[in-house]
Amino acid sequence: MIDIIRADITTLDVDAIVNAANSSLAGGGGVDGAIHRAAGPELAQAATRLAPCPTGDAVITPGFRLAARFVIHAVGPVWHGGTHGEAALLRRAYERSFALAAGEGSIASIAFPAISTGVYGYPKRDAAEIALEVMRAHEVRFDRVVACLFDEESVRIYQELQSGE
């Protein structure tokens, strides 16, 4: 079962958190900025060495000052009305995150934000459908998969989708 919670992803005691990153991996607003602030300047130094990261891809760094040992920086798409391959790119960002986590070997728990639903404008329900579908496909490999959401609307959407409403 996927845990759906409303919390600050930077405080979670999981092996890896996923960052809704931009392609420069330098930090920005929203969850990206919060993760960079909490992890300290070492995160930006490590991440920018791996930039640029194309949309739909992800890279992994240490978590530095976070409780999580790793940060997986996933670059989701900017919403352009759904006619520019956004769904495939968002799905690929989640898939790449799971692939990196599985490849690390020591990651048993992972937490995701709602990638691309903030300033990138991806519709929350559409993004949640993709996120939950990919999470369900990979949850058997992990002890814990968390959807860590910022607002009550997103929590409600994820819960409705998970329960089949």
The CATH number of residue 109's host domain is: 3.40.220.10
Amino acid (one-letter) located at 51: A
pLDDT at residue 154 in the model: 98
Q: Which residues pair with 16 in a beta bridge?
A: 70, 110
pLDDT at residue 50 in the model: 98
- The pTM (predicted TM-score) of the whole model is 0.97
Q: Is 32 a catalytic residue?
A: yes
CA 144 to chain centre: 14
What confidence tens digit (pLDDT) does each residue in 130-159 have? 999 999 999 999 999 999 999 999 999 999
Question: Which among 87, 86, 97 is positioned nearest to 138, based on CA atoms?
Answer: 97
Candidate list 8, 15, 32, 126, residue with the active-site label: 32
C-beta of residue 94 within 8 angstroms of C-beta of residue 131: yes
Distance CA 164, CA 89 (A): 24
What confidence tens digit (pLDDT) does each residue in 31-45 have? 999 999 999 999 999
The stretch 61-80 carries a mean pLDDT of 98
Number of domains forming the structure of the chain: 1
pLDDT at residue 25 in the model: 97
Is the predicted pLDDT of residue 162 greater than 70, yes or no? yes
Amino acid (one-letter) located at 138: H
Confidence of residue 165 (pLDDT cuts 50, 70, 90): low
Q: Which domain holds residue 136?
A: 3-163
pLDDT at residue 131 in the model: 98
pLDDT at residue 94 in the model: 98
Give me the phi and psi of 71, to 5 degrees please.
-120, 125
Per DSSP, helices labelled H in the chain are: 30-39, 41-48, 86-104, 124-138, 152-163
The stretch 71-75 carries a mean pLDDT of 98
- Residue carrying the six token digits 């920005």: 28
C-beta of residue 29 within 8 angstroms of C-beta of residue 113: no
* 3 state SS of 148: strand
Average pLDDT, the chain: 97
